[in-house]
């Protein structure tokens, strides 16, 4: 099969930990043809179909020069002529990402099979998607209002504030019972009331890790990746130095994943990353969830194999 990965430039991949690379390696081992492009290489013109300027490439097995292009030049290909398009562009989910989902949506109407579904990517913003599942989340507030935030802090005392468009732990603040800098932090995040902020009760279980629970084809991977904060850092994100430790799913992790997973899979979300602190769901990641290699290396469970199995099953259905 011909698989197109819409992703960041191949030259930027850190292959020792990159989840998209793990997908590519597993797909290549099965004889599938690998193609790649970036979102800006996708276009549509009236009278034609959605096309992309793509590179065909192979994997070399070298840790540094890990790919070899079939030709230096890109080739135009209609997305509907490919077997699958795998959207793996990293956040931020900005206006260009939004526009890319619309182009991919048009490609779907022309017959392309896109994973994750472009419409589902738009409909499940990673911070706000948890609102649909209040039975699994902790005390949470979404607002622009400084007064609302102050009231929430007075009630819960120890809180986390974060922007809705953040990634990798960016822009996350903790304010304790003394309320120190709450006003300044609120002004920074809500831009004087112009932008919406998410506020959550601080969950002390974060010291044991912010667990990434991967769900593939509606089914949970049997191990989570607990991202554990280091030193004085409150964030467990690997991007800010958190330590990743693979663990078997807890009964609560499995309960959350088995309830939410089939619902999201039915909407076209083949791969989802649920973030769980303690017993509480905190985010639903749908753009480019990671953690494949860390879980596989530490447990022996082949997450990339599970993903490509699910991809092949989805294409056969």
Could you list the active site residues? Answer: 127, 162, 212, 227, 235, 275, 283, 285
Instruction: State in Å, rounded, how far the first CA of the chain is from the last one.
Output: 15
Buried b (16+ CB within 10 A) or exposed e, 29-58: eeebbbbbbbbeebeeeeeebbbbebbbbe
CA distances from 13 to 17, 63, 92, 205 (A): 9, 11, 17, 32
The residue count of the chain comes to: 317
Question: Treating both helix axes as pointing N-terminal to C-terminal, what angle do 303-316 and 19-29 enclose, rounded to 10 degrees?
Answer: 60
Q: CA–CA separation, 101 vs 245, rounded Å?
A: 33
Q: CA–CA separation, 131 vs 139, rounded Å?
A: 11
CB of 213 within 8 A of CB of 248? no
CA distances from 250 to 137, 159, 220, 221, 296 (A): 16, 25, 12, 12, 18
């Amino acid at each position: 099969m011909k698989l197109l990965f819409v992703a960041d430039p191949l030259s930027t991949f850190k292959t020792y930990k990159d989840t998209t690379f793990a997908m590519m390696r597993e797909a290549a081992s099965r004889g599938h043809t690998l193609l790649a492009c970036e979102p800006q290489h996708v276009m549509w013109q009236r009278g034609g179909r959605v096309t992309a300027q793509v590179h065909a490439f192979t994997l070399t097995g070298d840790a540094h020069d890990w790919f070899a292009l079939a030709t230096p030049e890109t080739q135009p290909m209609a997305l509907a002529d490919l077997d699958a398009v795998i959207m793996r562009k990293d956040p931020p989910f900005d206006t260009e990402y939004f526009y890319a989902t619309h182009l991919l949506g048009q490609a779907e109407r022309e017959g392309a099979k896109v994973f994750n579904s472009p419409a589902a990517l738009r409909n499940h913003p990673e911070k706000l998607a948890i609102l649909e599942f209040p039975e699994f989340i902790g005390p949470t507030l979404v607002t622009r209002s400084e007064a609302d935030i102050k009231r929430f802090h007075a009630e819960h005392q120890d809180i986390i504030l974060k922007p809705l468009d953040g990634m990798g732990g960016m822009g996350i603040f903790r304010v304790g019972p003394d309320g120190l800098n709450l006003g300044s932090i609120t002004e920074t995040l809500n831009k004087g009331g112009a932008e919406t902020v998410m506020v959550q009760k601080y969950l002390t279980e974060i010291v044991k890790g912010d667990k990434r629970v991967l769900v593939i084809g509606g089914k949970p991977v049997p191990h989570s990746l607990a991202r554990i904060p280091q030193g004085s850092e409150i964030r467990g994100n690997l991007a800010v130095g958190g330590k990743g430790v693979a663990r078997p799913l807890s009964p609560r992790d499995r309960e959350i994943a088995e309830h939410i997973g089939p619902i999201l899979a039915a909407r076209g979300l083949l791969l989802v990353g649920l973030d769980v602190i303690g017993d509480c769901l905190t985010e639903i990641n749908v753009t480019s969830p990671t953690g494949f290699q860390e879980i596989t290396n530490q447990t022996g469970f082949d997450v990339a194999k599970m993903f490509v199995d699910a991809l092949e099953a989805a294409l056969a259905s």
